[in-house]
Structure 1
Amino acid sequence: MSENSNNEQTLEPLSQSPKTRLRRSPKRAVFDRQALYNIFDEAMVAHVGFVQDEQSFVIPMLVWRWENRLFIHGSNGSRMIKALCGEQSICITATLLDGMVMAKSAFHHSSNYRSAMVMGSCYVVEDKQEVEQALEVFMELIAPGRWPHLRPPTTSEIAATTVLAIDIEEASVKIRSGGPIEDEGDLEWPVWTGELQLRQKVTAAVEDQYSVGEMSDYSEAWGERWSL
């Protein structure tokens, strides 16, 4: 593609609804739409919650964002994909665990995190050209510049794949950062306190036996997480 479709721009803030309003620790609510975008862009794995035959399911899936939509894909025969093709309300959540917060007391231990939730209904991307473009966006988010070097998808591969999208309209973001919140009477207690920081990293590129040529530089997609 000629440019990254997810470039940052001036965005409307997230609005609240009865479903998305935070009742627990509301001060951690963030209404910056770009913050939500950043969470899903970094997490890549999100949990998709839905109900089928009166049974609740929450399934981890690779999820990607293209402008103001989230996308998931799967086989046409997938039970989950079939269930999501309807008009039922679903919930997609992504969480990044940034650190474990170590306090003076067990009660005040916590975690630093960034989490985002999108609710609504999925719809099938019907146009075959848009399906292929959405898959290209996904690939370029993982490995910039790789798509043009790959064997093009066949007609049967596209036909066997369902791509679903959900507009990012009803959504919320919750973020915690910083150190522990201590009781005043505990401040002099003699124990180490602080944060054990956690970060996902790209640590190795293991070549397959059928690999040909040198690996391209994909570090742009991973930023500080690229540790090769």
Structure 2
Amino acid sequence: MLSSTARTRLGRSKERGSTDRNDLYEILDAGLICHLGVVADGYPMVVPTGYGRVGDTLYLHGSTGARSLRAAAGGEVCVTVTHLDGIVLARSVFHHSVNYRSAIVYGQARLVTDEEERMAGLRALTEQLAPGQWDYARPPDRKELAATAVLALPLDEASVKIRRGAPSDEDADYALPMWAGVLPLVTAWGEPLPDPALADGIGIPVHISDRK
């Protein structure tokens, strides 16, 4: 179960909240991009970035020179992941909404210095975007690792919110002669586009072709 804190406790639409840790895992594992919120040089900053999960730790990465990563290391951060599942069209504009799954994680980000954990975090990041790619591609060399910062964020303090289903209209509006319902939104993979510099005879690897 997710423990409620002052930062994660819902103030509105409490019925959409979930304290099931498995819902948190599902939302994180289904995502590709998160938004990292930090305070850098006295100003708020929100950066979209890749991530990966290993157990109850979320891993983020970026250039060692990135202002957002420098501000996040050792400081309090906020990470969000959101899936938009549909547009909810009600009979009144006021009750229009969206179906979604969202997770917010708060905590102190830790700069990962242990080499084994750094590699595990980078593997998780790569596998989040393209399962099977870590074992297929060339691993990072020493120079590339030196230019890369890896952050670890514990999943100790998190909030989950989910909306599903039909519109909720005022009782009197259900008699109005107008359409209401949900426009589902689905994200799908397109056909892989080969690199123009690809050598002849190299086909699409199975772990890429099977994900379509």
TM class, shorter-length? over 0.9
- 1:173 is paired with a residue whose SS is strand
8 Å CA contact retained: 1:144, 1:220: no
Map of 1:216 onto structure 2:
205
Q: Distance in 2 between matches of 1:26 and 1:138?
A: 32
User: Partner amino acid for 1:119?
Assistant: Y
Map of 1:72 onto structure 2:
60
Q: Distance in 2 between matches of 1:33 and 1:220?
A: 32
Identity %: 40
Query: Paired residue for 2:38, among 46, 50, 58?
Result: 50
Please state how far the C-alpha of 1:183 moved relative to its aligned partner: 1.2
Please state how far the C-alpha of 1:153 moved relative to its aligned partner: 1.5
Map of 2:49 onto structure 1:
61
Q: Distance in 2 between matches of 1:36 and 1:207?
A: 35
Task: Decide which moves more: 146-155 or 184-193.
Answer: 146-155
Please state how far the C-alpha of 1:125 moved relative to its aligned partner: 1.1
Task: Decide which moves more: 145-154 or 17-26.
Answer: 145-154
8 Å CA contact retained: 1:49, 1:59: yes
Count of matched residue positions in the alignment of Structure 1 and Structure 2: 210
Please state how far the C-alpha of 1:145 moved relative to its aligned partner: 2.6
Alignment TM-score, normalising by the size of structure 1:
0.86
Query: Paired residue for 1:162, among 126, 143, 149?
Result: 149
Q: Root-mean-square deviation (CA), in Å?
A: 1.7
Map of 1:190 onto structure 2:
177
User: Partner amino acid for 2:123?
Assistant: E
Map of 2:82 onto structure 1:
95
Please state how far the C-alpha of 1:28 moved relative to its aligned partner: 0.7
User: Partner amino acid for 1:25?
Assistant: S
What's the CA shift string for 1:78-123, capped at 9, x where partnerless? 111111113x211111111110101111111111110100000100
Q: Distance in 2 between matches of 1:210 and 1:36?
A: 40
Q: Which consecutive aligned stretches of 4+ in structure 1 deviate over 4 angstroms post-superposition?
A: none
Please state how far the C-alpha of 1:52 moved relative to its aligned partner: 2.0
Query: Paired residue for 1:148, among 120, 135, 139?
Result: 135
8 Å CA contact retained: 1:132, 1:158: no
Structure 1: gaps spanning 5 or more residues: 1-12
Structure 2: gaps spanning 5 or more residues: none
8 Å CA contact retained: 2:50, 2:125: no
Query: Paired residue for 1:83, among 71, 80, 88?
Result: 71
- 1:129 is paired with a residue whose SS is helix
Q: Distance in 2 between matches of 1:36 and 1:219?
A: 26
Q: Distance in 1 between matches of 2:124 and 2:151?
A: 14
Please state how far the C-alpha of 1:138 moved relative to its aligned partner: 2.2
Map of 1:6 onto structure 2:
none
Alignment TM-score, normalising by the size of structure 2:
0.93
Map of 2:91 onto structure 1:
104
Q: Distance in 2 between matches of 1:59 and 1:140?
A: 21
What's the CA shift string for 1:158-207, capped at 9, x where partnerless? 11111001000010100000000111111121111110011111122111
